[in-house]
Amino acid sequence: MKKFDMKKGMTKYARLIILGLILAGAMFIHYQHIFPKEIMYPSVHTICPLGGLENFWAWFSGQRNIQRIFSGTMTLFFFTIGFAFVFGRAFCGNICPLGALQEFFGKITRKRFSVPEKADKILRFTKYLVLVFITLMAWITARLWIRYYDPWAAFAHLFSDELFKEFFVGFIVLVSSLAASLFIDRFFCKYLCPTGALLGIIAKSAPSKIKRNIDCNSCGLCSKPCPMNIKVNVLETVKSAECIKCGQCVSVCPTKKNDLRMTVFGKTIRPLAFVFITVFIFFGGLFSLQRAGMLQLGPPSLEWVLRTGNFLRVTQLRGAMRIEQGAQYIGMELSNFYTLMEIPATVPQETRLRDVGQFVPGWYFEAIRDSR
């Protein structure tokens, strides 16, 4: 029976536990957003750095935030970019819930399919094409164009009646990516993720590195657990844009001479410590920004709107709001709001905006809102 290595096991399983908690937290937020009670949780688009990337071009051209995006999404975007400048793609390896979901699916089977090297290189380039394409589309349309094709948006709406109406293509991408992840580690991360492509470009210059002593015995054990299939055992310094800083290669190194080590600004750091530190800095930084009032990821409270008179635009309304709340949020008389939104007077004012279609066949909240 193989002896359990406490040091290696702690790094591996602690990281998986952290990823599991982050995934569970994300699922809770998405569920609460779809089936809200009194608190309105942020949508999947506002708490994803990709939403900030799309909105960046609206900012750059002097436009207002695109629909479904709040100023806090841009704070999250720039914070994630700054985070990558220091820690590389640690967001992908230790924080991203979609990456975690793929990893957990990959644990279902141990069988792995090896993509031919030439095909692998071509396929990895695809995510950069996706990045360029969605950037251009965001510039041209000034909308969250990618939302209908986003697998994470589809996952966030698994229990919503909007899943097949709006996110059918994204659902197909999600199912395909998870199925592929059973045999190819982090399939979507490797070949399709535009956020990973952007962070990978930045990570090339990050001071967080994985370094190998060229005098090591080159046993090759470090390359085997790498989910991105980097040949760590033939590199002196891992500079690949594919490295997600999960630390699995370092944690399995059998030598006790630091032949393979993680470094930040030239200082050696243990893989487990690196995971904890990056997660703490990321969420601790976001918490600090939120406390400072710089991370608004959803509409302000109705009490604040009524007190300050800073009413929302119609396009900022959310389906989780009740009809009466929608009218108050934009500072309009209830009867006029019914007329504006083409809602029959027979629909109770306590009805959530996205549920009006249950009373009025063919009425679709987002279509009505976006046309105003």
Tens of pLDDT, residues 106-115: 999 988 888 9
Tens of pLDDT, residues 115-138: 999 999 999 999 999 999 988 887
Alpha helices in the chain (DSSP H): 6-34, 49-60, 71-87, 90-94, 97-106, 117-141, 151-156, 163-166, 168-181, 187-191, 194-203, 248-251, 271-291, 302-308, 323-329, 334-340, 365-370
Q: Terminal CA-to-CA distance of the chain, rounded, Å?
A: 67
| Burial tier of 135 (Cβ tally within 10 Å: 0-12, 13-18, 19+) | middle
Where is pLDDT greater, at 297 or 23? 23
Indicate the pTM of the whole model: 0.86
Residues in the chain, total? 372
CA dist., res. 210 & res. 234, Å (int): 12
Exposure on the CB side of residue 61, measured as CA atoms within 13 A: 13
SS3 assignment, position 209: strand
Tens of pLDDT, residues 43-69: 787 788 877 777 776 666 655 555 556
Dig out the tokens for 35 from the structure.
Answer: 């089936």
Dig out the tokens for 202 from the structure.
Answer: 């930045």
| Residues 252 and 221: beta-carbon distance below 8 Å | yes
Residue boundaries of the structural domains of the chain = 6-203+277-291, 302-370
